[in-house]
Structure 1
């Protein structure tokens, strides 16, 4: 096949547009829908353990999305930190605080509509900020690779040091809070038996 024939074949195939998605784009949308559904179940279920397990599905879906975007390092960081550490910390917190395993009646709040309004407003604000920030930003696909570990680490510790440290403090606060709550629950669960000393 000559160069002219190849050019004619490419022109006949037509440009890749919005109405002709690739397999990766279809998989990205399907995984995104599953992740969104898992996130909704996480915040709406009344069973705390089920909420933590659905959170695993949501965070794992985000890791798959990163893999589909060819950001393998970020995907494995997502799995190791969030799926492997944060969710395990939540499960330990639930077990140590003796949270109910079944349906929790106090998990249903009367302010669910206010919470829904705040969540929708926050989502709209985040989408608007991201779209406005990247409105005139174009990714150079022919340039150097921007998803390597060296580039990601340099960008993380050069431009995102403060959010990184804030996340570390947040995880430390969650760990300390779980320890404090577990010690308080243990102290409340073992009250002194009155009259025991007199019986001796």
Structure 2
């Protein structure tokens, strides 16, 4: 039996590659679909894929937070904003005339950022995660990060109220 020039991926690596392909496909569909409602559903699917990556990284708290905050709040807000806006769920116009220049620029930006990221030596550690990491994170949320946490929640509430005010019919 001939040997392969590359090692076969482990099960975890294969699952990661599948999730990564799903995220890329959902993100591309988010940008390329003409129907805004369908694009928002693809964005929600990409958020689910990111939660899957968090689960593979054994960061279950981040995965649940991703589902609750980004899918449960942000994506729902986007879908309601689209549904409250009249006529926006219909087909959008044709591609912009500069789409090819933007595509070339995006490819060059990707190459540039990839070259920068490959040159960085990423610090790694072999220390175990503290057993009280979640408790410390919760204490920080209601302690030293309470004000920024509440500011973000008020900002999201103001955005929701603003989108409803803009979308409602003028009396």
How far apart are the structure 1 equivalents of 2:148 and 2:90? 36
What's the offset of the Cα at 1:51? 0.2
Preserved contact between residue 46 and residue 103 of structure 1 (Cα < 8 Å): yes
How far apart are the structure 2 equivalents of 1:158 and 1:131? 37
Q: Equivalent residue of 2:40, what SS?
A: helix
Q: Which runs of 5 or more structure 2 residues have no equivalent in the other structure?
A: 1-5
Match of 1:91 in 2: 79
Preserved contact between residue 77 and residue 160 of structure 2 (Cα < 8 Å): yes
Q: Equivalent residue of 1:63, what SS?
A: helix
The verdict on how the C-alpha distance between 1:139 and 1:76 changes in structure 2, with shifts beyond 3 A counting, is: same
Q: Equivalent residue of 1:21, what SS?
A: coil
Q: Deviations over 1:22-56 (max 9, x none)?
A: 21111011110111011000000000010011111
**Aligned equivalent of 1:112, options 89, 99, 116:** 99
Preserved contact between residue 43 and residue 51 of structure 1 (Cα < 8 Å): yes
The verdict on how the C-alpha distance between 1:146 and 1:102 changes in structure 2, with shifts beyond 3 A counting, is: farther
The verdict on how the C-alpha distance between 1:167 and 1:22 changes in structure 2, with shifts beyond 3 A counting, is: farther
Match of 1:103 in 2: 91
What's the offset of the Cα at 1:120? 3.9
Q: Which runs of 5 or more structure 1 residues have no equivalent in the other structure?
A: 1-17, 191-200
Scaled by the length of structure 1, the TM-score of the pair is 0.65
| The structure with more radius of gyration | 1
Number of residue-to-residue matches in the alignment? 165
Match of 2:3 in 1: none
Q: Equivalent residue of 2:97, what SS?
A: coil
How far apart are the structure 2 equivalents of 1:113 and 1:31? 28
Q: Deviations over 1:167-200 (max 9, x none)?
A: 65764564354234214xx12xx6xxxxxxxxxx
Residue 75 (1) aligns with residue 60 (2): no
Paired residues for 1:85-164 under 5 Å: 85-105=73-93, 108-124=95-111, 126-127=113-114, 130-133=117-120, 135-140=121-126, 143-145=127-129, 148-150=133-135, 152=137
> RMSD in angstroms over aligned alpha carbons?
3.6
The verdict on how the C-alpha distance between 1:19 and 1:124 changes in structure 2, with shifts beyond 3 A counting, is: same
How far apart are the structure 2 equivalents of 1:120 and 1:153? 40
Larger helix proportion, structure 1 or 2? Answer: 1
